A = this chain, B = another copy of it.
Amino acid sequence: MRFILCILCLSASVVFAESKIYTLTLASSWGEQIPILGSAPYKVAKLAEEMSQGRLIIKVDLPQKHKAPLGIMDMVKEGLYDIGYTTPVYYKGKDYKLVFFMTVPFGMTTTEQYAWYYYGGGKTLSEKVYAPHGLISYPGGSVGISMGGWFKKEIVSLEDLKGLKIRISGQGGDVMARLGVNALSTSPGELYMAMETGLLDAVEWISPAFDMAMGFHKVAPYYYTGWSKPSGEGQYLVNQKKFHTLPQDLKRILESAIKITARELLDESNDANAKTWAKMQHEYPHIKINHFPKEVMNALKKAAHEVEEEQANKDALYKEILESQRSYIAKIRPWSMMGEVDYLSEIAK
């Protein structure tokens, strides 16, 4: 047993800080080559370490190490990792409700989704979904709205979609499938090759900054506008048992490091998209920006509604979240339109 000299104890204003070092492991879905997402978990780790004076250490493993970019949720659930950095839609096969915490087709934008999550009941619903898995989920940062994807051929009618092999993640894939599309969930590292060799006819990935880094513009000239992922929210999953081994201050520090990194990820994405979009227009004039035809958009909306109704009939909690999001959109959308959309449209006139 050792004694130390407590030089600070001479003053009355002294607290005895817990000083054990806690080390947590984190598995990420995205490697260093993926812009912005690749570096995000390192930012969480750095900030947590700084705020805790080195008492909270997070060790990050990338897919090349853990080999399971689409299996993060299970690894954290089983305690193989303490934290996962991933996105809820990768696990819709296990629990379809998870899609609500990323984004749904024709759903909320990032600002709307955050208002719903923090002030409209979303957080409580998230806890209802994740607690039975032994997990705590935090919004992990949005890349903003996603584009509708890169297509090798122009889509003029519904007929053109039939039989197309498209990589499209999340609920968008199930919606597209109803229109006769062969919706695939090819893993990120294989996408470019699949497009080049014809295994894929189209790919929905994210938005300009992320898409151009993947090189899709070299193999597919038609770039469609967004409908499937109005907000691309990631998530940090934390093993609940492990979380509760942390002292109170480190719990708050971990949450805060996640929250700040998540918010600044949207800024970084918007900045990168702005730059890439400007560059695209300039350097790649062959890229054709298209809206899907009205006929296709209507069919997508109808199919999205059908997918939702089907799930709602199977799962009461899914239904509760669906209704929460739908009624929230009904309330917040008129303000989105009256506020920023009106401003940006009016001053552009």
Contacts and interface: CB of A to CB of B under 8 A. Distances in A.
B1 A119 contact: no
Interface in A259-291: 259-260, 263-264, 266-268, 270-275, 277-278, 281, 289, 291
B331 A252 contact: no
A179 to B, nearest CB: 17
A53 B109 CA distance: 36
Nearest to A277: B335
A139 B226 CA distance: 30
A35 to B, nearest CB: 12
Contact of A270 (B10, B249, B335): B335
Which of A2, A14, A19 neighbours the largest number of chain B CB atoms within 10 Å of its CB? A19
Nearest to A230: B343
Contacts of A263: 259, 263
Interface stretch (A44-52, A162-170, A213-221): A44-52
Given A225-B343, A271-B119, A51 B266 contact: no
A316 interface: no
Given A277-B338, A281-B334, A342-B225, A15 B19 contact: yes
Given A17-B17, A253-B51, A118 B267 contact: yes
Given A13-B21, A17-B53, A278-B335, 16 more contacts: A2-B9, A15-B21, A17-B19, A51-B249, A106-B347, A111-B267, A119-B268, A120-B271, A144-B339, A145-B339, A225-B338, A263-B263, A270-B332, A273-B335, A291-B346, A301-B347
| Closest 8 A/B residue pairs (Cβ) | A17-B17, A119-B271, A274-B332, A13-B21, A115-B270, A53-B249, A115-B271, A277-B335
